[in-house]
Amino acid sequence: MKERFCTVPPALLWATVLLSSLPGTAHLGPQTPTSVFGSPFPIGLAKAAAQESGVSGAPRPAPGLHLVDAGTPQGLQELFAPGPDALPLVSAHRGGAAKGFPENCIATFEQTLRHSWSMLEIDLRYTKDHVLVLNHDPTLERTTNGTGRVADHTLEELKQLRLKDREGNLTEHRMPTLDEAMEWARGKAILVLDKKEVPVPDVVRKIEEHRAEAYAMVMAYSFEEVAQCHALNKDIMMEIMVGNRQRLEAFDKTGVPWRQTIVFVGHTPPQDAGLCELIHAKGARCMAGTSRNIDLRFLRGQASGMASLEPDYRALLKLGVDVIETDIPCQVGPLLYAGQPVPASKAKYFRK
């Protein structure tokens, strides 16, 4: 009988050796929670190295991406600090699905970043065995070839399913875990975590496990959740909802610094023309969504092309909106920022 051999990637071998050399960890497997210098390290060095080597569920990043790397939590706050210059950023709603590229999929994130610098808004769900995965709906029918609730399936079962693209066609892509997405995003992109029904403490814990305060934000649905998140970890930035002056005054009462937020002002242009200016004065940038209006005109073929929609997108910028959350980031990003240099004050955070 022939002997069978396998090649171990050098990075994985190094990580395994290092992990086994740590005091008290010789018995631990690569996915067993442990600690290094007192900080959480739940995914294990071996798993992290495997992801970098392309041997785990998270693929290697492709070349030619528009990368955003704040470096530190303070760097992330500085990146979004208001200033006179526009940022070369859109926010890709559900990652920016397109033909052949499903929503909430790492391959789709890379496709988005090939076209523009972009934040990536992603959606969290728990599996039956309590693993966080990316899926917008509580059920599987629209986004996969599976049926039933995400929460009624184990991760192993969900990994057998194939994801559908924006047109409903099956692809070869599989549902990623939040762990895979967060390890992929390190040094590459800013994630906005739409937690759905996941409790705030669970999302904060996952960010801390990955030491991701420099590139992962929590979408807080209420000011109570804002205060809860800030109490748990004061380094984490949040996306908050402030659509009018009454909400602005209510947020002031939370005591949470504005610099730790990006402010979603609505899915339609702000009716209060001075709202964004007030938010800027508080120390935060503004975001508005176009997935329910302008984007649809493009997706439904109701516009002759993106050039005809450019005035509508730019009208949001004139109102003081800094970041546009869109379903079509591959079209909107290049349209808004073609030929526009990265502001010198922010240049250290952007790479191509």
Same domain, 22 and 126: no
Domain enclosing residue 42, as ranges: 15-52
Report the number of secondary-structure helices (H) and strands (E) in the chain: 13, 13
- For range 62-76, the mean pLDDT: 94
- Residue 328 maps to a domain: yes
Distance in angstroms (rounded) separating the CA atoms of residues 215 and 206: 13
Same domain, 133 and 169: yes
Same domain, 97 and 33: no
Distance in angstroms (rounded) separating the CA atoms of residues 134 and 318: 34
Catalytic residue, from 66, 93, 115, 173: name it: 93
- For range 58-77, the mean pLDDT: 86
Q: What are the C-alpha distances in Å from 152 to residues 78, 111, 143, 155, 352?
A: 41, 31, 16, 10, 41
Residue 154 has what pLDDT? Answer: 98
Q: pLDDT of 293-335, one tens digit each?
A: 999 999 999 999 999 999 999 999 999 999 999 999 999 999 9
What percentage of the chain exceeds 70 in pLDDT?
A: 82
Check the CA dihedral 73-75-79-82 and report its sign. positive
Same domain, 105 and 190: yes
Residue 347 has what pLDDT? Answer: 94
- Residue 9 maps to a domain: no
Q: Which of 144, 150, 138 is nearest to 168 (CA)?
A: 144
- Residue 178 maps to a domain: yes
Which of 19-23, 223-227, 345-349 has the weakest average pLDDT?
Answer: 19-23
Is 79 a residue whose pLDDT tops 50? yes
Same domain, 139 and 267: yes
Instruction: Assign residue 209 the CATH number of its domain.
Output: 3.20.20.190
Distance in angstroms (rounded) separating the CA atoms of residues 239 and 191: 11
Same domain, 175 and 26: no
Catalytic residue, from 136, 173, 210, 230: name it: 136
Backbone angles phi, psi at 277, to 5 degrees: -60, -40
CB atoms within 10 A of CB 24: 8
Distance in angstroms (rounded) separating the CA atoms of residues 115 and 135: 23
Q: What are the C-alpha distances in Å from 135 to residues 53, 126, 153, 203, 299?
A: 25, 9, 13, 15, 22
Residue 60 has what pLDDT? Answer: 59
Q: Which of 101, 94, 83, 82 is nearest to 125 (CA)?
A: 94
- For range 225-235, the mean pLDDT: 98
- For range 58-66, the mean pLDDT: 71
Which segment, 59-68, 141-150, 332-341, is predicted with the most confidence on average?
Answer: 141-150
Q: Which two tokens stand for residue 70?
A: 């704040």
Distance in angstroms (rounded) separating the CA atoms of residues 52 and 15: 11
Q: What is the DSSP letter of 176?
A: P
- Residue 3 maps to a domain: no
93 is catalytic: yes
Contacts of 269 (CB under 8 A, 6+ apart): 288, 315, 316, 319
Same domain, 23 and 136: no
Q: pLDDT of 160-196, one tens digit each?
A: 999 999 999 999 999 999 999 999 999 999 999 999 9
Taking a C-beta distance cutoff of 8 angstroms, is the pair 124, 203 a contact?
Answer: yes
Please, which pLDDT band fits residue 54 given cuts at 50, 70 and 90?
very low
Same domain, 234 and 335: yes
- Residue 282 maps to a domain: yes
Give the count of domains, the chain: 2
Same domain, 302 and 154: yes
Which of 51-60, 102-111, 275-284, 317-326 has the weakest average pLDDT?
Answer: 51-60
- For range 190-205, the mean pLDDT: 98
Distance in angstroms (rounded) separating the CA atoms of residues 277 and 257: 17
Same domain, 240 and 294: yes
Same domain, 148 and 196: yes
Taking a C-beta distance cutoff of 8 angstroms, is the pair 309, 303 a contact?
Answer: yes
3-state SS, residue 198: coil
Is 121 a residue whose pLDDT tops 70? yes
Model confidence, pTM: 0.84
Residue 62 has what pLDDT? Answer: 65
Q: Which two tokens stand for residue 136?
A: 């917008």
Residue 61 has what pLDDT? Answer: 57
Taking a C-beta distance cutoff of 8 angstroms, is the pair 314, 320 a contact?
Answer: no
CB atoms within 10 A of CB 348: 14
136 is catalytic: yes
pLDDT, mean over the chain:
86
Residue 51 has what pLDDT? Answer: 41
Taking a C-beta distance cutoff of 8 angstroms, is the pair 122, 195 a contact?
Answer: no
Q: Which of 253, 281, 61 is nearest to 263 (CA)?
A: 281
Same domain, 45 and 172: no
